[in-house]
Amino acid sequence: MRKNKLTAEQILYIVGDGNYSIVYLTTHKRVLLSHTLKWYQDYYPGFIRISKQSLINPAYVVGWLKTSRSVASLTMQDSQQLAISRRRIHVVLKRFEPAFHADS
């Protein structure tokens, strides 16, 4: 069995699926690994948990869209739209306001 350590710079975002996670890489590949999102959240402290299922690398966020007070999403470098959970919208978007000059 081969173990390759992934650096934060290689990861766009991570989507959880029970006790497994799908890691989306900057090389446009996906890797299924047997760790929970909580484990990745602790291992990569600079990443942001945007919902129960998603953990993002903020370095690869290219934009965001807020359609109402309770609906918002982030656009990642690979053009994927990831939904932000209703309870996390304010905190997540506040983190990106300086970069995108947005108002909440």
52 and 66 share one domain = no
46 and 79 share one domain = no
The CA distances from residue 9 to 6, 12, 13, 25, 59, in Å, are 8, 8, 11, 9, 8
pLDDT at 104 over 60: no
66 and 84 share one domain = yes
Q: Does residue 83 sit within a domain?
A: yes
pLDDT digits (tens, 9 = 90+) for 22-71: 999 999 999 999 999 999 999 999 999 999 999 999 999 999 999 998 99
pTM attached to this predicted model: 0.88
Residue with tokens 């390759």: 4
pLDDT at 10 over 50: yes
pLDDT, averaged across the chain: 91
- Which domain, by its residues, includes 83? 61-100
67 and 88 share one domain = yes
35 and 18 share one domain = yes
